[in-house]
Amino acid sequence: MWAVLVLAFFVTVFYIIQRLLDYRGAIRSVGNHPGYRTLLSQSCLLAKLLPSIHGVSTGRNFLFRHKFQIFQFFGWDTISAVSAWPQSEAIIILADAYAIRDVLLSRSRFPKPVQHYQVLLFFGRNIIASEGDEWKKYRKIAAPAFSERNNRLVWDETVKIMGDMFQNVWGSQAVITTEHCADLMLLVALFVIGIAGFGHKVSWEDDTDIPFGHQMTFKDALHNVSADMFLKAFVPDRVLGLTKRTRNIKLAFDELRKYMLEMIQDREVPEKEERYDIFSNLLNANNENSTKSFVLSDQMDLSGNIFLFLLAGHESTAHILCFTLALLALYQGEQDTLFQHIKSVLSDGRYPAYEDMNLLTHSAAVYNEALRMFPPVTAIPKESAEDTFLIATNNQGEAKSVPVPKGTTLVIDIVGLHYNPRYWKDPETFKPSRFLGEWCHDAFLPFSAGARACLGRRFSETEGIAVLTMLVSRYKIEVKEDPRFANETFEARRDRILACKAGLTLTPTQMPLVFKLRDAKGI
């Protein structure tokens, strides 16, 4: 018995010594560059569940929580994060616009670690979770689908959907209250992506009946998949059948797969009518490349990319719009400025046309400022394919070379970049006017940049500006009053309304807003 205990003691001591040596080696590998030193690795599940504990774990959603403060604390726009367990690793975290540009433009040196995107492979391979020749194939087919004609379709359909909501859902009501803005914006975004993305019309009155052969509507299937994706990723299928909620999750995934396969099969029959939705453009581009190596060769290729565009076009734009509307509700002066600008462009009270989009500069500025403050994706991982280095700068503008060994994970901290005072004056302040003058484009990456920039950027911007313009032109947006918070300060109210959590995209927690119909004078 004593022999076993002694053996166990020495094995434990040896393990601890080995971990310490590996930990010191990881620190040396990045030149002991300033930054976090923690027990638990960033990739460790336990670290994602624990709160922030000094020396143990950085805690949940720590990049958004601390914004640029962590870089100010360590004195550099690029920092390191070294951890000891379950394995020693060193990560480089970047909030330096020019170091980030170097990483994004050097795709061979810093490829995408596709293993981080396995959660997006439920329905097949896709452009986000791919690299190398596979990514080139998907991009060759997908890029032309996001055309100027599609942008016009997005605008026109968004205006129709909002007009339909004003007339047939809100009607003559002077005050409309929503307990959570996301419930409304997710529906709007779903209707837009349904028709402009896939030629599948989903309206305020339609899609209440479940189609023959299905057990769930398209709308409910997509919403449930979006809401419970991570649960589906980490819970085995055999366990999903144990509760009503998890059975519903499994059903939603099965139903969405069935809907997507039906869309593919329906479009295999040539249509006489020209269509400019993304799905039609995708199939047309695929057919044009059918004799070449760049082709989506099977239904898994198609369904994987269809799913990605559905999910990205649905959730990310909806959440961006929520933050935009909440910011305007909190900052009434900025909302009044936006309303006056919209009135100057649409002086006759008409609905905005696609040709007005470039004139609605303040709508675009407000949307961009919300994207700066609440980017849908807070961090972008990269990996070093070789031993290399990056140039880091400190608070005094001094530069130094930071070694980056082969295999090191780099994290492009979008939030840290967007709140870096080197590029943004008063970054914590909601100030849309900053986007009406000169600003650093390299320091604004809500849709990434370079070859791997989001293909749907223009889709999101077009939809967002149309929704924002339509709403503000006819309704004044306010925070819903709640007697429980009658005595709260403005700062407390702002923190409550803008509270968010990490999800597939940055997700608002609870946004109770009120929409008050403006009269003919815009009051």
- 3-state secondary structure at position 379: strand
Taking Cα atoms as reference points, which of 473, 469, 476 lies closest to residue 516?
476
Distances (CA, A) of 365 to 361, 385, 416, 426: 6, 38, 20, 16
Euclidean distance between CA atoms 321 and 79, whole angstroms: 32
| 142, 127 Cβ separation under 8 angstroms | yes
500 labelled ligand-binding = no
Encoding tokens for residue 195? 């028709």
Residue 502 identity (one-letter amino acid): A
- 3-state secondary structure at position 173: coil
Could you tell me which residues come within 8 angstroms of residue 482 by beta carbon, excluding any fewer than 6 positions away?
A: 512
Euclidean distance between CA atoms 319 and 456, whole angstroms: 15
Could you tell me which residues come within 8 angstroms of residue 49 by beta carbon, excluding any fewer than 6 positions away?
A: 60
Residue 60 identity (one-letter amino acid): R
- Report the residue count for the chain: 523
Tokens 């967002």 sit on residue: 464
Tokens 């462009």 sit on residue: 345
- 3-state secondary structure at position 39: strand
- Backbone phi, psi, residue 475, to 5°: -135, 145
- Which residues make up each annotated binding site for heme? 454
Annotated binding site: 454
